[in-house]
Amino acid sequence: MSVVVLGTGMHPWGKQGRPFAEYGVAAAREALRDAGIAWTDVQFLVGADTIRNGYPGFVAGSTYAQALGWSGARIASCYAACASGAQAIDIARMRIMAGLCDVALVVGADATPKGFFKPVGGDRPDDPDWLRFRLLGATNPAYFGLYARRRLALYGETTEDFAAVKVKNSLAGSLNPMARYRKVVTAEEVLASPMVADPLRLMDICATSDGGAALVLASPEYARRLGVADPVRIAAVSTVTPTFPNTVLELPNFATDSSAAVPPPERPFRAAIAHAAYEEAGVGPGDVSFAEVYDLSTALELDWIEDVGLCPPGEAGKLLRAGDTALGGRVPVNPSGGLASFGEAIPAQAIAQVCELTRQLRGRAGERQVEGARVGLAANQGLFGHGSAVIATR
């Protein structure tokens, strides 16, 4: 049994200074309108949590249900850092597939503080996320810089290659009315922006943003009753964890597992996320029409292109330089504009990616439309080994 997307909704991303629930409710109402149903038709709601917004953020399911109007719908809330949206989608999908409901609403939204993310308050000496800030002063960009320097050392890429990723994504973002940054930038502007975490400059790194996204998911039978003949289908959701020993450094850790006694797994964690989704969907990287990947930095987009199997390790730069990953290329990557154009609104990110998959597969993406799109892949990950990949098909 599959699950289909009846509706998508987003609140424009930026820094509007409003409560997160307003963004989520606006996105939810748009998704309901797109689906052609009323809030009172929804049988199950899943809210992706935001830990920065007090108790309402920790119980996002009930926060959105109350804001939309108590209806008796069943609810759930979940938090998995940047994978929260994918887990929320999976919770709703599995309830539909189990026959426990016919239609569900998934909502994620965030209102972020100024600047890069910092640890939640309090003393937590047993928490690696707290420790990496307190002991090492390692903000997220410090990790992004290390990953970027690894690419420079292993594959001979240049900072000009990283800047070209930003240029590509800024063009796509300029065509997306939901994006925060709508200005096309030049490589010269990227390379002239302030250094943040060598070799990454300010314009190489995604911002933190406010924003919201929502999906209405349903069983195929429910969609047919509404007269929807050829909906977008959620073919797979992967939320896998790493396999021991995890020998690649991942946020927020500052050490890896040893492979002295046990050899590394066949696939590193990020590659395993996409592989599990491909297996479930019955497709492969060669079937992918376009991909939305986790471009926390320009260099990380190149990593993810390889992790999801669009090319062998070390060859993402070649795809970039050939124009294969640009709009109109062989396999566009981040046709939405990516996090480079949106910034991070953590609970909404994976949901927003699936909104883009749906719009592209419906042929409703306007000037950024990927021609003939049939299979879309979204991939990111959350802290502490939360996998996040979704494959949608038409």
- The CATH number of whichever domain residue 53 belongs to comes to 3.40.47.10
Q: Which of 60-74, 107-121, 138-152 has the lowest mean pLDDT?
A: 107-121
**Residue 189 included in any domain:** no
- pLDDT, average across residues 378-394: 95
**Residue 272 included in any domain:** no
**Residue 42 included in any domain:** yes
**Residue 258 included in any domain:** no
**Residue 306 included in any domain:** no
pLDDT for res 323 = 98
Residue range of the domain that includes 218: 3-115+209-225
At position 26, the amino acid (one-letter code) is A
Which tens digits make up the pLDDT trace of 209-257?
Answer: 999 999 999 999 999 999 998 999 999 999 999 999 999 989 999 899 9
Q: Going by C-beta distance under 8 Å and a sequence separation of 6 or more, which residues neighbour residue 217?
A: 3, 4, 5, 6, 89, 92, 93, 96, 103, 104, 105, 106, 234
Q: Going by C-beta distance under 8 Å and a sequence separation of 6 or more, which residues neighbour residue 316?
A: 301, 302, 303, 305, 306, 310, 325
Looking up tokens 């917004």, which residue turns up? 53
Q: Which of 46-50, 194-198, 250-254 has the lowest mean pLDDT?
A: 250-254
- Residue 314 has, within 13 A of its CA and on its CB side, a CA count of 4
Distance, CA of 11 to CA of 252 (rounded, Å): 29
CB 374 within 8 A of CB 281: no
Which tens digits make up the pLDDT trace of 300-310?
Answer: 999 999 999 99
pLDDT band for position 261 (50/70/90)?
very high
CB 186 within 8 A of CB 203: no
Distance, CA of 349 to CA of 14 (rounded, Å): 13
CB 20 within 8 A of CB 57: yes
- Between strands 3-14 and 375-382, the pairing is unpaired
Helix (H, G, I), strand (E, B) or coil at 190: helix
Distance, CA of 342 to CA of 353 (rounded, Å): 11
Average pLDDT, the chain: 96
CB 215 within 8 A of CB 105: yes
How many structural domains comprise the chain? 1
Tell me the whole-structure pTM to 2 decimals.
0.96
**Residue 334 included in any domain:** no
Question: Is residue 104's pLDDT more than 80?
Answer: yes
**Residue 154 included in any domain:** no
**Residue 365 included in any domain:** no
CB 30 within 8 A of CB 22: no
pLDDT for res 73 = 97
Structure tokens at 160: 């000009």
How many residues does this entry show for the chain? Answer: 394
